[in-house]
């Protein structure tokens, strides 16, 4: 397929996303193709390592192909999106458990679905251009593809801060937030990949490791922890409004564009994920919300406003966080009964 280049090189299975014109946004066929590679290379005597990277200079993967979800949902087809999410979540879990291990090279934008395929793996490499984020609340969804689970494992209240605001983490902040592992200058990536292909040994990464550029998150932890430990979105906004820092002002601007219902769900989801014991358990919790997203969340309106019409004027279900009830959030996170996510192996 033209959207993904799959091959073997030496001891390595190579997967390269090749949709640079679309910021390598993950389509349903790409998702299936990556899973087929993992299944084929699992336990292979000739493959010691898998490398995932992407073409173009702007993005590793800037998210999922939400345009097709919009088209099918507005025609009344809810199963397309639900099927995509089920298969995508199964892929996320397989990447987290993969043997052979996976190395991801996360240049440029890594957001949403890109986090799902690039940030659960065993070796996550960032460079100078890397910007990692979960901005789903801006399109009326919540951090998913296991993103809420990763955010729940970040230091302090970084998870709530990034998940609600959609703030982007540069290379230093991504490593600090435990969304990435190693900084390697991008000029060294071709040489590093060549050595990985020759040896199949991930310890080769260490000789290319460098100190990442300084981030801002470590210096703002007191502020982030104080504000984002507040009980609800309205309280977080009030606390931000009372703070004179640049970070608070930037957060207020980002939060102001987001769906109030999505933010309320994201806040509770991230906090609930601190109790999840596995990626599979975490994905099942996220799936409850996305399964209901077309009918009960702001997802379709968010895509319309931000991607289809591009008027950036979404008409959210609630005009402000105060209008969102705890009952609405609880209902979106309630069990799906016989529709609960099951991560069985695809036939």
Active-site positions?
64, 113, 136, 144
Q: What is the DSSP code string of 111-163?
A: ETHHHHHHSSSSEEEE-TT-EEE--GGGGT--S-TTHHHHHHTSSTTHHHHHH
DSSP conformation letters of 237-260: HHHHHT--SHHHHHHHHHHTTS-H
Residues paired with 104 in a beta bridge: 52, 124
Give me 55's structure tokens.
Answer: 């073409």
Taking the C-alpha atoms of residue 129 and residue 238, their distance in angstroms, rounded to an integer, is 33
Backbone φ and ψ for 170, nearest 5 degrees, come out as -70, -175
Give residues with Cβ within 8 angstroms of 77, minimum separation 6.
none
**Residue 11 DSSP SS3:** coil
C-alpha dihedral over 27, 28, 32, 35, to 10 degrees? 60
Q: Rounded CA gap, 304 and 178, in Å?
A: 32
The DSSP secondary structure of 243-304, one letter per residue, reads --SHHHHHHHHHHTTS-HHHHHHHHHHHHHHTT--SHHHHHHHHHHHHHHHHHHSSHHHHHI
Nearest to residue 155, comparing CAs of 77, 217, 76, 85?
217
Q: To which residue do tokens 């099942």 refer?
A: 284
Residues 6+ away with beta carbon under 8 Å from 328? 261, 264
Nearest CA-CA partner of 264 in 309, 307, 326: 326
Closest CA to 264 of 234, 295, 233: 233
Q: In the block, which residue shows the tokens 């996550």?
A: 124
Handedness of CA 164, 70, 150, 26 (dihedral sign): negative
């Amino acid at each position: 397929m033209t959207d993904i280049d799959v091959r073997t090189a030496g001891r390595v299975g190579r997967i390269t996303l090749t949709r640079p014109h679309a910021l390598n946004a993950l389509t349903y066929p790409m998702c299936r193709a990556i899973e087929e590679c993992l299944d084929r290379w699992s336990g292979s005597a000739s493959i010691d390592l898998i490398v995932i990277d992407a073409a173009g200079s702007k993005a590793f993967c800037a998210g999922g192909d939400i345009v097709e979800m919009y088209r099918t949902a507005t025609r009344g087809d809810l199963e397309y999106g639900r099927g995509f999410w089920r298969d995508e979540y199964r892929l996320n879990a397989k990447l987290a458990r993969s043997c052979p291990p996976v190395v991801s090279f996360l240049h440029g934008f890594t957001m949403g679905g890109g986090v799902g395929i690039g940030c659960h793996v065993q070796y996550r490499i960032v460079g100078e251009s890397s910007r990692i984020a979960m901005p789903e609340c801006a399109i009326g969804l919540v951090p998913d593809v296991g993103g809420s689970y990763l955010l729940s494992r970040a230091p302090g209240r970084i998870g709530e801060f990034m998940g609600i605001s959609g703030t982007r983490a540069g290379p230093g902040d991504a490593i600090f937030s435990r969304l990435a592992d190693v900084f390697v200058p991008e000029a060294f990536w071709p040489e590093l990949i060549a050595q990985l292909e020759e040896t199949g040994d991930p310890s080769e990464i260490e000789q290319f490791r460098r100190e990442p550029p300084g981030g801002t998150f470590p210096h703002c932890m007191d502020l982030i922890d104080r504000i984002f430990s507040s009980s609800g979105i309205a309280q977080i906004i009030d606390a931000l409004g009372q703070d004179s820092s640049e970070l608070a002002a930037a957060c207020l601007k980002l939060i102001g564009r987001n769906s109030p219902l999505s933010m309320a769900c994201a806040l509770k989801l991230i906090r609930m994920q601190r109790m999840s014991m596995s990626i599979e358990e975490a994905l099942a919790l996220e799936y409850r919300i996305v399964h209901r997203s077309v009918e009960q969340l702001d997802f379709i309106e968010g895509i319309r406003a931000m991607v289809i019409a591009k008027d950036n004027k979404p008409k959210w279900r609630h005009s402000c966080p105060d209008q969102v009830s705890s009952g609405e959030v609880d209902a979106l996170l309630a069990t799906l009964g016989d529709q609960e996510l099951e991560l069985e192996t695809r036939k």
